[in-house]
Amino acid sequence: MNGKEQAAFSRLGAALDDAVQLGYVGIDPQTQNADVVRARRRVVGEYLFLLGYLAKRPADDTRDRSQRTGDLSRSLGHDSDGDIREAVRNFQRDAGLTADGWVGPETWDAVQQLASFEYPTDVTRWISGEKQREVLWRAVYLRLFAFGLTKLPPRPNSRLQSKQEQTAQDISEGLGDFVRAVAVLQPSAPKLEPALVRETVSLLFDQHAVCALVKVYLDNPAWAPKQKQNLQLIKSFLCNTARIELWLYGYNVDIGNFKRKGPFFKPDRFTQSFDSAMQDFCSDHGKEKAFCARSQREESDVLGWFFAHLVALRLDLPDLQNPEDADRVVERVLADEKTMTGVRGAIKSLGARLWDGVTRAWNWIKSVFKKVVTTVKRVAKRVITNISRFVHGAALKVFSHVVAAIKAVVDGVDFLKEKIVRGSDPEHMVVFHDKDWDFEVFVNASADPAVVDNLTERIALRCEVFAVGGKIVGNLLSIFLSTLRNGVTTGWFALMLAFVRIFKSVKQLRAFSQRALTLMTELDGLRAQA
């Protein structure tokens, strides 16, 4: 190895150490990285607003000086940090957590479960805990409001469970309407109980399941209700379910009509934004915008296509056939400064939804990458917007694999440095190797074959662990180098670019790291036997 290569080795090691420390190769859920923490707290602000713990929603204005200076309270659209801390404390108190105002992993998990519409909700936890009832009521109220089944969203200073009889009644009626809508969507299924019971709440919180029910309903026109009241209910329910999906995908719609204090399906700006978002969705997914224009087509046709497409994206879409597409898209986006300005703005303005929509974005990206190469300018902003939402979830998922890989490589390097293989015993077998992997094996004539086999197998396993870990870390290093090459080394954008690359190989990474974990477990077993 020449001097240039030796220097590169040191630089690569230092670069990877920096990358791990800064969180570019995976976000530690407990990271203290300022960008990550700020973005996470911003999301919490949005969720606390949705749940009614904050009076104002976080600002999305990227020109806000406070964002550049990192003033969290101002970037959340509040006059003082006290509002946010108090909101977090109230949420924690209601959720049965330690009310310290600090958003740690437990608070983050709880708020995600209750307000994200995406994160799986442990319904048993919230239903069974007496202390958690208030926060469950708020989350249920939010869902009902988003589905258009209550007129008002949860608001601050209202103890929903006990003090606001009217609100409690709204929730009760909303649950009744939800159960009625579900009965229309799946006429043959047993009727749900219109109360805070496990079955009803589980379905209310399972957006994927609701979409699947809607899809089946739309496939069966004969199920359409005869009663006018039910027909109106189901029409509103379908549109609001579609609205939630569009919101999760990053289109410019809101869940529920917070401004007008009424979620119902009426011809106003609220509805116009829905139409516009639906047309954009159609266009981005290979349909003419006119297909989704209400004047051109029956609403049920549009919704039928929309939900069928969502379900297909989720279930049937094959993996990206040509992974080079991702690189080509990113390269073309990077080459156009005007587009890049828009892209950066989109990422910053995405706010709370940056963290949502992981599954949706995942499938969506796969489909878009296939189509986007020739029309990159038109859809680049949306592509990157959705990628950025995907980043956080992907980072969290990949992180555990990265940790496994690093352990595997460290074990492999330890192995490489050993002159005598650990476990060697002159009574049975002694194994030497150098750093070029040349082996000298000494088997005692009176050795126990079982002990020899055990050590032999352990050596093979350690080599395999090293090989597997090496592939993962090699992959990550390559991604990191690519990011450096693009000249962007800080912030979300770098992370996003890195994870576009990881996206291409994440399945492989998972397979490798799972193999590494299995091997290490086997190795521990063999060591214990020995």
Partner 1 sequence: MSFQTAFESVRDGITDLSQLNVRTFTGEIVVTAAKLEGKDATLAGFLKEATQQGKLTVVGYTNMKIDGDVDQFISATAAESAIAAHNNAVQAGQASRAATLDLFMGLVREGIGKIKPEATTK
Binding region for partner 1 (CB under 8 A) = 1, 4-6, 8-17, 20, 409-410, 412-413, 415-417, 419-420, 424, 426-427, 429-447, 449, 452-453, 455-457, 459-460, 462-464, 466-467, 470-471, 473-474, 477-478, 481, 484-485
Helix (H), strand (E) at residue 136: helix 133-146
Query: What is the C-alpha separation between 199 and 183, in angstroms, rounded?
Result: 13
- Nearest-Å Rg of the Cα atoms of the chain is 27
8 A C-beta contact, residue 330 and residue 21: no
Contacts of 248 (CB under 8 A, 6+ apart): 117, 118, 207, 353, 356, 357, 360
Q: If DSSP states are collapsed to H, E and C, what string results for 313-354?
A: HHHCCCCCCCCHHHHHHHHHHHHCHHHHHHHHHHHHHCHHHH
- In the complex with partner 1, the residue whose CB is nearer, 16 or 391, is 16
Query: What is the C-alpha separation between 37 and 81, in angstroms, rounded?
Result: 15
Query: What is the C-alpha separation between 240 and 419, in angstroms, rounded?
Result: 67
Max CA pair span of the chain: 91
- In the complex with partner 1, the residue whose CB is nearer, 227 or 446, is 446
Rounded to a whole number of angstroms, the minimum distance from the CB of residue 501 to partner 1 is: 13
Rounded to a whole number of angstroms, the minimum distance from the CB of residue 10 to partner 1 is: 6
- In the complex with partner 1, the residue whose CB is nearer, 447 or 530, is 447
- Concatenating the DSSP letter of every residue in 293-304 gives -TTTS-HHHHHH
Rounded to a whole number of angstroms, the minimum distance from the CB of residue 503 to partner 1 is: 20
Query: What is the C-alpha separation between 500 and 480, in angstroms, rounded?
Result: 11
Rounded to a whole number of angstroms, the minimum distance from the CB of residue 17 to partner 1 is: 5
- In the complex with partner 1, the residue whose CB is nearer, 84 or 455, is 455
- In the complex with partner 1, the residue whose CB is nearer, 228 or 419, is 419
- In the complex with partner 1, the residue whose CB is nearer, 10 or 166, is 10
Q: Is 285 helix (H, G, I), strand (E, B) or coil?
A: coil
Reference 470, options 405, 421, 382, 420; nearest CA is 405
C-alpha 176: how far from its chain's center? Answer: 31
Block residue for tokens 């990949």:
398
- In the complex with partner 1, the residue whose CB is nearer, 231 or 410, is 410
C-alpha 86: how far from its chain's center? Answer: 27
- In the complex with partner 1, the residue whose CB is nearer, 106 or 453, is 453
Rounded to a whole number of angstroms, the minimum distance from the CB of residue 25 to partner 1 is: 11
Helix (H), strand (E) at residue 433: strand 429-433
Rounded to a whole number of angstroms, the minimum distance from the CB of residue 18 to partner 1 is: 9
Rounded to a whole number of angstroms, the minimum distance from the CB of residue 392 to partner 1 is: 24
Query: What is the C-alpha separation between 227 and 98, in angstroms, rounded?
Result: 49
Q: What is the DSSP letter of 247?
A: H
Rounded to a whole number of angstroms, the minimum distance from the CB of residue 464 to partner 1 is: 6
- In the complex with partner 1, the residue whose CB is nearer, 267 or 426, is 426
Rounded to a whole number of angstroms, the minimum distance from the CB of residue 141 to partner 1 is: 49
Rounded to a whole number of angstroms, the minimum distance from the CB of residue 435 to partner 1 is: 3
- In the complex with partner 1, the residue whose CB is nearer, 353 or 428, is 428
